[in-house]
Amino acid sequence: MSFDARHLLGIEYLRPDAIRTLLDLADRYVDLNRSPQKHSTALAGLTQINMFFEASTRTQASFEIAGKRLGADVMNMAMQASSLKKGETLIDTALTLNAMHPDLLVVRHPHSGAVNLLAEKVNCAVLNAGDGRHEHPTQALLDALTIRRKKGRLHRLTVAICGDIAHSRVARSNILLLGKMENRLRLIGPPTLMPASIEEFGVEVYDDMREGLQGADVVMMLRLQKERMDGGFIPSEREYYHRWGLDAEKLSQAKPDAIVMHPGPMNRGVEIDGTIADDINRSVIQEQVEMGVAVRMAAMDLLARNLRAARESEGDAKGVII
């Protein structure tokens, strides 16, 4: 199998063939999810813990449904309200949980790299559900699956990512993934919301949205992350909407069959016009949510297979059955 990772910490660590393997399996889970009997036993007997150090409704629900459909015992821990308030460090929390023998740990954390740190300290498979401004790998994978199903391929497409790139882990993971799959990437947004030296990532950078959208196959909008901004990055939401909000007029620059994506939750009237978001001929936002569950099922299934294989070979080495 070409997916040999122990954890899913970021797209950076995945090879293109591993990405393809994961998406192929996710396609099969889409079919399962659309059937009346939505159960599989891929994770039967395994324990999945969702640790969210940052508030999340959608991603947490998606991981929870994915785990339950695969037969795992799923537990949610809202960490903002938990022991961190009592001064416990991330590593102590991880060690405490590790002692309960979870098999899959799904982690979201407000600090970049926190999930990598945690993964070093536990013996289970860790899935990054978003760490600071670093990565959000399952989001990029579900976006990739959506694109592949809508466009019939995941290479040689012109993809425009628009908006608040600087604060977005979704953008980072997507830039890495779409780059690895050999697409043409354009980043569009105000220069205050572009990360430093971003042009070194092999992307084209546009200040002007109309110019950047020309001939795009995919238009990926990002949420303006008001909660991550510690100063004035834009003068006002209305000026932002005027220049970088997606409306019908700007979208007309893209290819006629271009699809519109958004990782949600949307700020209607800030980064996207509500009528475009709701236009079933252009917007694939609901499909993205659907693909999210399938991609997370595939990711957990593959990691669980690797985990079982690793435990078996460990058991062989020790001469015991585990």
Partner 1 sequence: MSEQPLTLTNAILIDPEAGTEGPGWLRIENGMIAGTGTGAPPEGRTIDCGGKYLAPGIVDIGVKVCEPGERHKESYRTAGLAAAAGGVTTMITRPDTLPAIDSPEVLEFVTRRAREAAPVNIRHMAALTKGREGREMVEIGFLADAGAVAFTDCDRVVADTKVFSRCLTYARALGALVIAHPQEPILSRGAAATSGKFASLRGLSAVPPMAERLGLERDLAIVEMTGARYHADNLSTAVALPALRRAREAGLGVTAGVNIHHLTLNELDIGDYRTFFKLKPPLRSEEDRMAMIEAVREGLIDVISSMHTPQDEESKRLPFEEAASGAVGLETLLPAALRLWHGGHISLPALFCALALNPARLMGLPSGRLSKGAPADLVLFDPHKPFVLDRFRLRSKSKNTPFDGARMQGRVLATFVGGRQIFGKEGN
What positions carry a catalytic annotation?
A: 58-59, 86, 108, 136
Stretch of residues binding partner 1 (CB under 8 A), selected from 148-156, 196-204, 270-278, 293-301: 196-204
Binding test (CB under 8 A) with partner 1, winner from 21, 50, 59, 116:
116
Binding test (CB under 8 A) with partner 1, winner from 38, 179, 195, 247:
195
Burial of 101 per CB tally in 10 Å (0-12, 13-18, 19+): exposed
- The Cα-based distances of 34 to 30, 67, 72, 211, 318 in angstroms read 6, 16, 19, 39, 43
Binding test (CB under 8 A) with partner 1, winner from 81, 196, 280, 317:
196
How many residues touch partner 1 (CB under 8 A)? 25
Binding test (CB under 8 A) with partner 1, winner from 11, 46, 70, 114:
114
Closest CA relative to residue 173, chosen from 224, 122, 219, 132: 132
Binding status of residue 193 toward partner 1 by CB under 8 A = no
Min CB(135)–partner 1 separation in Å: 7
Binding status of residue 200 toward partner 1 by CB under 8 A = yes
**Residues in 215-244 at the binding interface with partner 1, rule: CB under 8 A:** 230
Residue nearer to partner 1 on the CB measure, 203 or 220: 203
Torsion of CA 88, 94, 97, 99, to 10 degrees: -110
Residue nearer to partner 1 on the CB measure, 124 or 198: 198
Torsion of CA 16, 198, 239, 251, to 10 degrees: -40
> In angstroms, rounded to a whole number, what is the distance separating the alpha carbons of residues 306 and 288?
27
Binding status of residue 291 toward partner 1 by CB under 8 A = no
Q: Which amino acid is at 214?
A: Q
Min CB(26)–partner 1 separation in Å: 25
Residue nearer to partner 1 on the CB measure, 133 or 250: 133
Query: What angle separates helix 137-151 from helix 58-69, to the nearest 10 degrees?
Result: 80
**Residues in 162-181 at the binding interface with partner 1, rule: CB under 8 A:** 169, 172
Residue nearer to partner 1 on the CB measure, 4 or 199: 199
Min CB(294)–partner 1 separation in Å: 26
Please report how many Cα atoms fall inside a 13 Å half-sphere around the Cα of residue 48, on the Cβ side. 28
DSSP code, position 165: -
User: Could you tell me if 141 and 181 are in contact, meaning their C-beta atoms sit under 8 angstroms apart?
Assistant: no
**Residues in 117-156 at the binding interface with partner 1, rule: CB under 8 A:** 117, 131-135
Closest CA relative to residue 198, chosen from 167, 225, 236: 167
Residue nearer to partner 1 on the CB measure, 181 or 251: 181
The owner of tokens 């659309």 is: 34
Residue nearer to partner 1 on the CB measure, 14 or 298: 14
Judged by the rule CB under 8 A, the positions of this chain that interact with partner 1 are 12, 89-91, 109, 111-114, 116-117, 131-135, 169, 172, 195-198, 200-201, 230
